[in-house]
């Protein structure tokens, strides 16, 4: 039986002989169902129209994303660590070429994902490389394809390897997670943030939103929590959710400035707008 994939968000559903009734992730206020209605596809069809493109970001870090863009269009990262390769985030397409490339790099030792919009076809990736998936417990309800390979954690941090730590931030989703790599950024520390702290177009700030496509802001306390969660970690580089959305230096300062700017904006009385 095929595993159907949502065309809008790229989420994979359990194998079935009939289309899913709906996509709860798209029906949530943080995502959307297109005006044309819900549409579905399968891996084989995606593979005929798309491929995965790889790019070296720094020593020990590869980025990969689908070309042309499919669904949300996020980028995944492959990090070389003390336990082997870790896949951060996931993309919908998993074809034989991708399997061969990743196996040539040594396979995958673990998979971790920041939030449900990027869960994608993580179970297919897990099965292909015999790699456990690490997700925060607070987002369990958004797993559309349950599987024994999924391991839920429920602390504020989870060490995946030497110097590699998942950090619970909340915000965009209750279980929103970022990955800190102390050896990344040429040894200066790196943070992979997905949409939890999305790199802004000026490459000097990060953004915080409940919904990016629907323009729903987060509350000030939610953003303050993200700032507190990241404060203990040293990092100079921030890898965002898409290619060309990285901060190459002073990442820690960018987060601090962005948190302060956001709090000021949402708590302002609006008088400055009338000047």
- Other Cβ atoms closer than 10 A to 68: 9
pTM of the model: 0.96
Torsion-angle region of 268 (φ positive above 0: left; ψ -120 to 50: alpha; else: beta): beta
Tens of pLDDT, residues 42-89? 999 999 999 999 999 999 999 999 999 999 999 999 999 999 999 999
Q: What is the pLDDT of residues 101-158, one digit of tens each?
A: 999 999 999 999 999 999 999 999 999 999 999 999 999 999 999 999 999 999 999 9
Domains within the chain, CATH numbers bracketed: 3-274 (3.60.15.10)
Cα three-residue angle 89-215-275, rounded to 5 degrees: 135
């Amino acid at each position: 039986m095929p595993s159907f994939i949502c065309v809008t968000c790229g989420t994979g559903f359990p194998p079935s002989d009939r289309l899913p009734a709906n996509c709860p992730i798209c029906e949530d206020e943080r995502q959307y169902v297109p005006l044309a209605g819900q549409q579905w596809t399968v891996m084989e069809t995606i593979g005929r129209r798309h491929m995965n493109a790889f790019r070296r970001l720094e020593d020990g870090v590869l980025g990969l994303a689908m070309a042309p863009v499919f669904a949300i269009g996020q980028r995944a990262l492959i990090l070389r660590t003390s336990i082997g390769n870790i896949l951060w985030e996931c993309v919908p397409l998993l074809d034989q070429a991708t399997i061969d490339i990743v196996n040539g790099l040594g396979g995958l030792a673990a998979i971790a994902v920041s939030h449900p919009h990027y869960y994608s076809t993580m179970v297919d990736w897990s099965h292909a490389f015999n790699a456990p998936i690490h997700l925060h417990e607070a987002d369990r309800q958004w797993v559309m394809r349950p599987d024994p390979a999924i391991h839920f954690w429920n602390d504020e941090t989870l060490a995946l390897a030497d110097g590699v730590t998942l950090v619970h931030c909340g915000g965009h989703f209750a279980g929103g997670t970022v990955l800190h790599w102390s050896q990344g950024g040429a040894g200066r520390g790196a943070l992979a943030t997905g949409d939890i702290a999305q790199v802004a177009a000026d490459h000097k700030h990060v953004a915080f939103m409940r919904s990016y496509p629907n323009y729903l802001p987060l509350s000030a306390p939610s953003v303050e929590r993200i700032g507190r969660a990241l404060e203990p970690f040293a990092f100079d580089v921030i890898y965002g959710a898409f290619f060309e959305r990285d901060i190459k230096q002073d990442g820690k300062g960018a987060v601090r400035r962005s948190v302060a700017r956001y709090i000021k904006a949402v708590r302002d009385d609006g008088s400055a707008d009338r000047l």
